[in-house]
Chain A
Amino acid sequence: MSVVENARLIELKDLSKSYDGETEALKHLNLYIRKKEFLTLLGPSGCGKTTTLRLIAGFETPSSGSIVFDGVDVTHQPPHKRRVNTVFQKYALFTHLNVFENIAFSLRLQKRPRAEVEKKVEDMLRLVGLQGFGKRGVDTLSGGQQQRVAIARALVGEPEVLLLDEPLGALDLKKRKEMQLELKSMQQRLGITFVYVTHDQEEALSMSDTIVVMKDGLVQQVGAPQDIYNEPKNAFVADFIGESNILAGTMARDEWVEFDGRGFACVDRGFGENAPVDVVVRPEDVRIVEPGKGQLLGVVESVIFKGVHYEMMIRTPSFSWMVHSTACRAAGDQVGLAIAPGDIHVMRRSAPAKGEGAP
C-alpha cells in the first residue's frame, strides 16, 4: 500500500533461537519491516511467529543473529528500553489498577505532568471507544473491552512499532471481524508500524500490507496478500492460505505439465524436462463444463451450499477435486472440468513435511 514508506525500521539479521539448545524455534530468519507497514507473521502453532515477536519486544534474546532498530543494534537491549509496545494474547492487564491507571502506566513511569497524563489517557479512551470506563476495574470488563484497554495501554506512549500477539484470538467471530477493521483503520490513522501475529489466514489477508508465512521456524514466503494468495511459492503456503487442490505432477517441458492422468497447457517455464513438481489449483479456478468438454471427466461426490457459492467434491480417476462454483450439480452427476493455463500454479516439489501431505 502507498502509505508504507520504504525506509527499513526493523531488520532481523540471521536470527536464530533455540530454547533448550536442541529444538530450534527459529532458524536463520532474515526479514525487514518498513515504516508504517502492517506486517503479519502467519503460520500454524510452533512455526516461530510468536518467538519472532518476543525477540523484537526483547522478552527473549536470540541464540544468534541480531536485531537492528532504526539503524541501532538492539539485540541485547532490555524490553523497557525498546521503542516498541506489545498487545498480549490474553491482554495481561494490571488487575490491581483500574482502566485509567492501566492506560496511564507508562506515562506514570515517565513522571509526566498530571494534566498531560489525564489528557492522553482520555484521548486513548476515546480512540478505543471506552469513554467513561476510566474508574472501572479491569476485571469488570468483557473480553473485547479488556482488549481495547490493552491496545490503549500499548499505544498511549506513542511507540513507533506496535507488536500484537494474536490479539483477537479470544474474541468471538463477530467481535473479531469488527476489531480487525478497527485495528486496520487505527494503524492507518496513527501511522504506526504494526507487527501482527496470527494463525488465521483470513485475518492476515484482510489486514496486512505484507504477510510472512512461516513454518517450523522457517520463512516460507514473504509478500503482499494478493501475491501470497495468487502465487504461493510452495504447496504448504498454497494449502495454508485459502483452500487448494494440490497434486503431484510432472513438468514435461516448458508450458506443459502433467497431472491427474493427463497433460495441461500452463504458463510456467524453466523447470527443465520431466521435473517432479507440485501443482496448485484454487477451487474457484476449476470450471464445470459439459461432460466430454474440458480436460477432465469426473463424478460429483458431494455438494455443500456455502452462501455465495457451492462447494463440490468431484472425483476423477486419480484425484478428488474441490470446486467452488455458483452453478449447482447434484451428487452423482457426471461433469467435465476445465482449467485455464493461467490458473495452474506449478511449484518445485517441496520435501513432504512430517504429519502433513497433499490430499
Chain B
Amino acid sequence: MNRKYLAAPFSLWMALFTIVPILLVAVYAFTDAGGTFTLENFSKVLDPLYLGVLLRSVGMALLCTLICLVIGYPAAYFLAKKEIDPRGALVLLFILPMWMNFLLRTYAWLALLESNGLITSTLNRLLTLLGAEGEVRLLYSYGAVLMGMVYNYLPFMVLPLYTVLSKIDPRVVEAAQDLGAGRAQVLSRVVLPLSLPGVASGVTMVFMPAVTTFVISRLLGGAQFKLFGDLIEQQFLFTGDWNLGSAMSLIMMALLLLSMGLMKGFGDKEERGQDA
C-alpha cells in the first residue's frame, strides 16, 4: 500500500514540468497578447497558408512512416531470424546512428547532398558520363527533407518490430509449415498478424516525431521549405507570437492524440484475434 509514495517524486515532476506547461500552453492559445479570452488564434491557423503547411507536414509524416515501414519490416524480420548468429552486431549497426547527435547526423547529410558534396557530385559526374545535360540539385528539395526524416526515424520503426518479431516462437512458425504453409503463407498468415502490435508501435513512434519535424526541414529543405514544426518554432523564437504558437501546438497535440488513439484501437483489435 505504501508503495504508491515511491511514485511521488515522479508525480511531482510530471505535475511541474508536463501538466503545468500544457495548461500554460492552453491558456496562451485561448488568449490574446493582452490576456483576454479569444478564439482568434485558432481562426488564424485556418489560414490557407498555415493549413497548407499543416497538410504538407501530415502528408510527409505519413509518407515517411510508410517508407520506414517498407524498409524497416524486412530489416527487422532479417535481424530477428534465429539462425543469424552475429545479429547482436547487426542490431548494433541499426542503433549506432542513434548514439550520435541528431543535428550532427543531419548536418552530415547537408554536406553529402550539397552541390559539391559527395553524393551530388558523383551523381552529376555519372550523368555527364552518360551524356546527360545540366546538373542535378539534391539539397533544398522535398526529397532531401524526406530523406533526412526517414534516415532519422528509421530506427524507431526497426526496434519495436525487431522486438516483436524476435519474440515469435519458432515452433509456431514450424506449426504453420507443418500444416502446409509455404514461405509466403507463413509470412502472411502467421508472422505478419503476430507482429501487428509491433507495426502499430513502430508506426506511432515514427509518425509522432515525423509530424512535428522542424530542424531537418530547415537544414535540408532550405529557408523556404516550412513544416508545421518550423511554423511553431517561428512563432516562439522569431515572431514572438506565443499565443498563435500555442494554438498551433494544441492543434498538433490533438492530431497526435487522435492518431495514437487510432493506432491503439488497431493494435487491440489485432490482439483480440479475428473471428471466423
Contact = CB atoms under 8 A, between A and B. Distances in A.
B256 to A, nearest CB: 28
Nearest to A165: B171
Interface stretch (B20-28, B58-66, B129-137, B176-184): B176-184
A95 B276 contact: no
A101 B273 CA distance: 10
B180 A94 contact: no
A79 B275 CA distance: 27
Interface stretch (A80-88, A264-272, A312-320): A80-88
Given A134-B276, A157-B179, A96 B194 contact: yes
A90 interface: yes
Nearest to B271: A96
B273 A97 contact: yes
A137 to B, nearest CB: 5
Nearest to A114: B276
B87 to A, nearest CB: 18
Nearest to A118: B276
Chain A, interface SS category = mixed
Contacts of B176: 94, 105
Contact of A85 (B179, B193, B196): B179
Nearest to B174: A59
A173 interface: no
A86 B273 contact: no
A96 B270 contact: yes
B107 to A, nearest CB: 44
Interface in B156-192: 169, 171-172, 174-182, 185, 189-190
B180 A110 contact: yes
A92 interface: yes
Given A101-B276, A109-B185, A57 B178 contact: yes
Interface in B27-72: none
B175 A95 contact: no
B4 interface: no
A98 interface: yes
A135 B276 contact: yes
Contacts of B178: 57, 59, 79-80, 84-86, 154
A135 B171 contact: no
A106 B276 contact: no
Contacts of A97: 273-274
A161 to B, nearest CB: 11
Interface in B188-206: 189-190, 193-194, 196
Contacts of A69: none
B3 interface: no
Given A100-B276, A135-B276, A137-B273, A86 B175 contact: yes
A98 B194 contact: no
B179 A109 contact: yes
Contacts of A137: 272-273
Given A88-B171, A90-B171, A96-B194, A135 B275 contact: yes
A26 B172 CA distance: 24
Interface string A153-189: 1100100000000000000000000000000000000
A98 B175 contact: no
A79 B174 contact: yes
A125 B276 CA distance: 15
A235 interface: no
A104 interface: yes
Contacts of B185: 109
B177 to A, nearest CB: 4
Given A97-B273, A101-B276, A80 B194 contact: no
Nearest to B175: A92
A78 interface: yes
A92 B169 contact: yes
B175 A80 contact: no
Contact of A153 (B179, B189, B193, B270): B179
Contacts of A108: 189
A100 B179 CA distance: 15
Given A90-B171, A95-B194, A109 B273 contact: no
B174 A94 contact: no
B181 A80 contact: yes
Contacts of A96: 190, 193-194, 196, 270-271, 273-274
A105 B194 CA distance: 15
Contacts of A110: 180
Interface string A56-70: 011100000000000
B180 A106 contact: yes
Contacts of B181: 80, 105, 109
B174 A86 contact: yes
17 contacts: A78-B182, A79-B177, A80-B180, A85-B178, A88-B174, A88-B175, A90-B169, A94-B172, A95-B172, A95-B273, A98-B274, A104-B276, A105-B179, A109-B185, A135-B276, A153-B175, A157-B179
Interface of A: 57-59, 78-80, 84-86, 88, 90, 92-98, 100-101, 104-106, 108-110, 134-135, 137, 153-154, 157
Given A92-B172, A109-B185, 15 more contacts: A57-B174, A59-B174, A79-B174, A79-B178, A84-B178, A86-B175, A88-B171, A88-B174, A90-B169, A94-B172, A101-B274, A105-B189, A109-B179, A109-B181, A137-B273
Please give me the 9 A-B residue pairs with the lowest Cβ-Cβ distance, nearest first. Answer: A92-B171, A106-B179, A92-B175, A79-B177, A96-B193, A86-B178, A100-B276, A92-B172, A109-B180
